[in-house]
């Protein structure tokens, strides 16, 4: 089943009309390959082969490599598509009037994003030592998460290296994965635990 047919799909809707028929077929094949990789990962096949992707996408193996140099390129485009889909959540302004309120909003926002990209992030972590592309993507993700967290914190906390490191770990995907996967917590229960940890960490911080 194509991810785009799922009502909970992270993929943005695609325009139905493209003038050139061959280009349209090519675009559909390319998209099916990207979605096939995501489908397989979502179903628990954390390191799909190119042959598995081709079979799920209902295309030949040669078609996969005609569109993509290797599996990393499919991961690349899949990641770009997901970022496009979740970007509004990432860049939306915070509503809280205090940094503490914005930090609590950050927990909810990250939980929503992590749930959307969960299978992809787990798969990428499994492949991180096999792929330079995935290592670089992981570093970019960390940099983005770090900078967005610093942007909502007072300078005194952002510059407090041990405290900031503790907050970063608490709000990071590995913590979310452990709560959701290893401890089998529901999304709401996992958020409550993260809120508890963050609240304890900032209990003595009363900066404006």
Residue 21 lies in a domain: yes
User: Helix, strand, or coil here: 207?
Assistant: coil
In a domain, 182, yes or no: yes
**What's the alpha-carbon Rg for the chain, to the nearest Å?**
19
Residue 126 resides in a domain: yes
Say if residue 121 is in the same domain as residue 189. yes
Question: CB-side exposure of 188: number of CA atoms within 13 Å?
Answer: 0
Q: Which segments of the chain have a pLDDT < 50?
A: 1-7, 11-19
Quote the CA–CA distance of 121 and 79 in Å, as a whole number.
10
* Domain total of the chain: 2
- Give 55's contacts (C-beta < 8 A, 6+ positions apart): none
pLDDT of residue 25: 61
pLDDT of residue 170: 97
Tell me the per-residue pLDDT of 85-112, one tens digit each, with 9 for 90 and over.
Answer: 777 777 788 998 999 999 999 999 999 9
Q: Rounded to an integer, what distance in angstroms lies between the CA atom of residue 55 and that of residue 36?
A: 9
**DSSP for residue 159:** T
Same domain, yes or no, for 120 and 190?
A: yes
What pLDDT does 47 receive?
Answer: 80
Q: How far is CA 125 from the centre of its chain?
A: 12
* Under 8 Å between Cβ of 25 and 46: no
**pLDDT attached to residue 54:** 93
- Clarify whether residues 14 and 111 are in a common domain: no
> What does DSSP assign to residue 47?
S
Of 15, 32, 67, the residue at which a domain comes to its end is 67
- The whole-angstrom separation of Cα 108 and Cα 99 is 14
Contact 1/39 with Cβ under 8 angstroms?
Answer: yes
Give pLDDT, residue 43: 84
- At which residue do the structure tokens 């302004």 appear? 93
77 is a domain residue: no
Residue 168 forms part of a structural domain: yes
Q: Domain range for residue 57?
A: 3-67
């Amino acid at each position: 089943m194509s991810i785009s047919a799922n009502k909970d799909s992270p993929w943005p809707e695609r325009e139905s009309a493209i003038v050139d028929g061959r280009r349209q077929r090519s675009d559909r094949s390319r998209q099916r390959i990207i979605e096939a990789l995501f489908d397989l990962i979502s179903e628990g096949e954390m390191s799909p082969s190119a042959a598995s992707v081709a079979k799920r996408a209902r295309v030949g193996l040669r078609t996969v490599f005609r569109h993509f140099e290797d599996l990393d390129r499919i991961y690349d485009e899949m990641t770009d598509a997901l970022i496009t889909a979740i970007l509004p959540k990432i860049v939306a302004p915070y509503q809280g009037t205090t940094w503490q309120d914005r930090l609590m909003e950050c927990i909810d926002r990250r939980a929503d994003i992590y749930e959307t990209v969960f299978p992809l992030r787990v798969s990428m972590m499994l492949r991180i030592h096999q792929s330079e592309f995935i290592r670089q993507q992981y570093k970019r993700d960390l940099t983005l998460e770090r900078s967005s967290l610093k942007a909502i914190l007072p300078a005194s906390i952002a510059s407090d290296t041990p405290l900031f490191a503790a907050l970063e770990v608490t709000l990071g995907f590995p913590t979310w994965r452990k709560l959701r996967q290893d401890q089998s917590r529901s999304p709401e229960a996992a958020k409550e635990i993260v809120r508890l940890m963050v609240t304890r960490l900032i209990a003595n911080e009363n900066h404006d």
